[in-house]
């Protein structure tokens, strides 16, 4: 009777060990990964293409409001 439990336990442990040794490799095409990285960098840094930068150089810069407090500071 103990031999059956021993064999069942050994078989279970062997199955768990073999399942733990599985490795999944995912390969991405280099060109697609580089294109996606460039797109993300452009979105984050909001880079402009040279044609757009030349067009924007002719336009005046938008005025920004001054950063003054609403009420004067009191000591």
What b-and-e string marks burial along 11-28, b requiring 16 or more CB atoms within 10 Å of the CB?
eeeeeeeeeeeeeeeeee
Q: What per-residue confidence (pLDDT) applies to 7?
A: 92
User: Is the whole model's pTM more than 0.75, yes or no?
Assistant: no
Q: Where are the domains of the chain?
A: 25-52
What b-and-e string marks burial along 37-70, b requiring 16 or more CB atoms within 10 Å of the CB?
eeeeeeeeeeeeeeeeeeeeeeeeeeeeeeeeee
Determine which of 23-27, 40-44, 62-66, 71-75 has the lowest per-residue pLDDT on average.
62-66
- Is the separation of the CB atoms in 41 and 47 below 8 Å? yes
- Contact partners, residue 48, CB within 8 Å, separation at least 6: 56
Mean of all residue pLDDT scores within the chain: 75
Q: What is the pLDDT of residues 21-47, one digit of tens each?
A: 777 777 778 888 889 889 988 888 876
The answer to whether residue 10 scores a pLDDT higher than 90 is yes
């Amino acid at each position: 009777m103990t031999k059956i439990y021993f064999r069942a336990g050994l078989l279970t442990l062997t199955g768990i060990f073999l399942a733990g040794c599985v490795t999944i490799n995912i390969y991405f095409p280099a060109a697609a990964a580089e294109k996606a990285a460039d797109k993300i960098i452009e979105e984050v840094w909001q880079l402009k293409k040279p044609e757009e930068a030349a067009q924007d150089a002719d336009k005046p810069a938008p005025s920004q409001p001054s950063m003054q407090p609403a009420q004067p500071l009191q000591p």
